[in-house]
Structure 1
């Protein structure tokens, strides 16, 4: 990658130079997170997303301008300069902050493009970077990412990035919205629209009464990156899960107590669907039998597009939670993307079928997104979304308030005399209710394993912030990894089961290669760790049969990939 120094002016933009422009980030709160290279950064990925940022942050609707943002050549044709502002939140600790832009390359995606790194003022003054002053690589392909680098973890700042356009291009000036007025009648009316179904009240009211009596109550969340807290700064206290948990403590904790009898379990893993969530459930929610949550909130409405079963895994996960001996209430939460999309229509029939509480963030916010402030808009997309997928602190607050509204409505309601019925035909499917995790720490007594060339352990894993922790926890640390030095022998597992899923590691590293997965000698899938191309967990079904029988699973590096790495994170099996 070409490291190009910035040679342009360090002064603010000349006020006499009138150029049209728009924001890519506007008054966005960022947080310095520790990375494996020892740096503390906030990274904003741009590949395929820059035009969406221009739409919701900058209000850009011109299709020609949006199209130019898809490539480096188009970006430089359109953009004259970038204006960057950084305002550190802690005035007493003015650390150094650097802004960087990385372009992905054509020849070698992460190595042959341009990288610029620029020192920034931290008092909110604008730093202007003129593109013509930068030496760009001829191999630049697409804008890859922005990053803000700090000298300490946990530093918070509010940043904006504005693109000033070359002559001949013009966009309408987007008005700055007034702050969201929480607590107004209009805000409360918006929140009330989120109550898709109050559902059977028996289980949720029982949890509330336990809390009022001072008994231990556990609220658990399972989902994707929004449940992990993506977009919230700081992630562990500004995420919707922590905020809704705090609201429940204040509303229903024992009077005069400190609320320590109400506990939080947060198990969101970015980029993963219920297909992986159901495998993680025993480990991450039940904590392998150590926890019995009273309330379980399931949030996969924007993650399950990749669910191979189109809802069977989701309903299986819901039933897995509902059928616990302590009879927890399961709340279905439907979040939303900036393009107004989610899978509520596919997944809500599960909630209607079992009469579960359902909360739709989509129903609350999407219609009012289309209104002006004069017409009744309460929160804009720019205020709600941190990026095209994840909420800002404001968005996470809206989500928490939607859950709190369900709590309030249930508390005001009469308790249902009869509990829900789960012992009936599923609406989509229940094939995976009894799925369990198998990994290097748990396979004995379940399967026979010969690791072969997959005898190493991968420690470069997907890290996520669990519970109320500000630090990441590695996902699937008890794994099997093949490396260049491992040799060509296959991983072999013999197991008696009727259903089996493989969990493997995705990676953006060129050191990783594809592996072939055979079941009983037949190739069933070639697992490509670069299909998603960033470090996280991927689940795929190997077989789904009606009867239990013995199967032999073989995993070997694909032809020509024998000198590459591949990590088997684990398996999900149904006996």
Structure 2
């Protein structure tokens, strides 16, 4: 990777650049008064990374900069187009603590040959703008697309507010920045918006019992399982401003006596994963291997389940797995939403209706009013609600928490249903994965026969997630099997008896990772390509799904031409 860096304020070796080079240039805002947080990274640094690849930079130009000119948006899709469009970058950072005096800002490009360039500049954190003029840095001919901004701090947990603006070259114009009116969270219009989220109170017996238990000061555990929104993506700080923590905290304030220490939070969100992986993780991440018994389980997969190969079978199986626990927890279905107004509510809500469950739809609350003007009663704009096209801002997470809290309040005021829900009925989609169990390097003894072959190493560069109320990330599936160039060409071989088998492997943007062939009983069933998504996370795929349990042999080997690459088998989910 080619590196260009500077420790001076304007990146040119002199004092802060005067305003003249940008005074008359059109301003394209990419970040505007956005919160950033220093998080510990795998390289030991403390930083906030803002990803720009894929459609992310274009999305930010649309959302923050109000750009609709397709020609300009097209230029942002490549490094060469970016250089044609942008004259300079203005970076303003305002630290939230006086002791944080500087932050290092880096713009990274991804190269066509897995390289790319980096431009870095040291920025004061007093709110003054630092100017990075692109012509002061030689472009790499290998640069393909903008990869990310990185804000590097001197310590973990530091908070700041930042604005990043692209000053455009002559001949390019974008709309001026338009600021929305502040969200009036205490208004009647806001309360009416929140009320629209309540799709169904369902049978309230279990949720009512959990509330009454909390009022008596008895221990109550609230668990959340879902994707990156449940993990807290877009919230800053992620551990305390995500919807899960906010709604848990509001539950404590509403119902728990004294300090609320009797209420426990379990947060098991994991970015980029559907319920197909959620059900594999449930025993480990929610039930903590049988050591916890949640009283309330909130399930949020409405925007992640496009990747569920079972078309809802894993989702319904997960819901039933939670409902059928011996302690009879309340299960709440939560439907989040993307910026394009989409979710899988239509497919998943019938599961809630089938078992008469409480259901909360953020989509129902906010989407209609997004289209309104202020005079028509708009409460919150898309720019205010969304951090990017997928994840909420702090304000959006607050809305989600308030939607759940409204369900809690309505349930508290209602008379308890006398009869409990019934799961003794045919599933509406399927329940084939209810009994799934996680298999990894540590727990396979006596269950399967494994010869790791050339997959004998252990990968430590893993997808991490802020679990529960932790400020740090927990590596996912650490008990794995990894192939490396040095570990040999022998196949990974596993023999087990089961009806269904899910493979979980590592996706990665690292070019040292390659494709593996996956065989079941001597037949090639699929290839594992870690670069389809091209970022480090967990990918769950079905290897077989059969009516009866049979003995199967699973073999995994590197594809032709990828023998010197890496591939990580994170684990398996199997149904006996």
TM-score by length of 2: 0.96
Task: Work out which of the residue numbers 36, 42, 51 in structure 2 matches 1:30.
Answer: 36
Conserved 8 A contact 1:12-1:126 = no
Alpha-carbon distance in structure 2 between the residues aligned to 1:227 and 1:363: 18
Contact kept in structure 2, 1:220 and 1:293, CA below 8 Å: yes
**Does 14-23 or 555-564 show the bigger shift?**
14-23
Identify the residue that residue 501 of structure 2 maps to in structure 1. 500
Q: Distance in 2 between matches of 1:417 and 1:119?
A: 64
CA apart distance, 1:85: 0.7
What per-residue deviation string (whole Å, max 9, x for no partner) do you get for residues 513-563 of structure 1? 111111111011111111211111111000000001111111112122222
Alpha-carbon distance change, 194 to 269 in structure 1, aligned in 2, over 3 angstroms = same
Q: Contact between 2:22 and 2:167, CA under 8 Å: does it hold in 1?
A: no
2:129 is aligned to 126
Q: What residue in structure 1 maps to residue 96 of structure 2?
A: 89
CA distance in 1 between partners of 2:17 and 2:378 (Å): 38
Structure 1 segments (4+ residues) deviating >4 Å: none
Q: Does 1:287 align with 2:288?
A: yes
Instruction: State the SS of the aligned residue for 2:100.
Output: coil
- Check the 8 A contact 1:13/1:126 in 2, yes or no: no
Residue 227 in 1 paired to residue 230 in 2? yes
- What's the Cα RMSD here? 1.5
Instruction: Please show how residues 372-391 of structure 1 align to structure 2 within 5 Å.
Output: 372-391=373-392
Q: Is the counterpart of residue 10 in structure 1 residue 11 in structure 2?
A: no
Do the aligned partners of 1:12 and 1:127 also contact (CA within 8 Å) in 2?
no
Q: What pairs with 1:40-439 in structure 2 (closer than 5 Å)?
A: 40-48=46-54, 49-91=56-98, 93-106=99-112, 108-109=113-114, 111=115, 113-254=116-257, 257-439=258-440
CA distance in 1, matches of 2:422, 2:533: 39
Deviations 1:229-281 (A, max 9, x none): 11111111111101100100111113xx3211111101111111110000000
Matching residue of 2:8 = none
Structure 2 Cα separation of the partners of residues 516 and 570 of structure 1: 16
Q: Measure, in 2, the Cα distance between the counterparts of 1:47 and 1:543.
A: 34
> Gapped runs of 5+ residues in structure 1?
none
How many residues end up aligned between the 2 structures? 569
Kindly state the Cα deviation for residue 399 of structure 1 after the two structures are TM-superposed. 0.8
Return the alpha-carbon distance in structure 1 between the equivalents of residues 550 and 308 of structure 2: 25
1:20 matched to 2:26: yes
Any idea what SS the aligned residue of 2:64 has? helix
In terms of mean alpha carbon deviation, does 422-431 or 540-549 score higher? 422-431
Separation in structure 1 between the aligned mates of residue 388 and residue 48 of structure 2, nearest angstrom: 13
Aligned residues of 2:4 and 2:117 also touching (Cα < 8 A): yes
Q: Which runs of 5+ in 2 are unaligned?
A: 6-10
Does the CA contact (< 8 Å) of 1:80 and 1:166 recur in 2? Answer: yes
1:545 aligns with 2:529: no
Q: 1:362 Cα deviation (Å)?
A: 1.3
CA–CA separation in structure 2 for the residues paired with 1:417 and 1:170: 64
- Quick one: distance in 1 between partners of 2:546 and 2:277? 19
SS at the partner of 1:415?
coil
Task: Give, in whole Å, the separation in 2 of the partners of 1:137 and 1:268.
Answer: 38
Deviations 1:380-418 (A, max 9, x none): 222212222211111111111110011011112221121
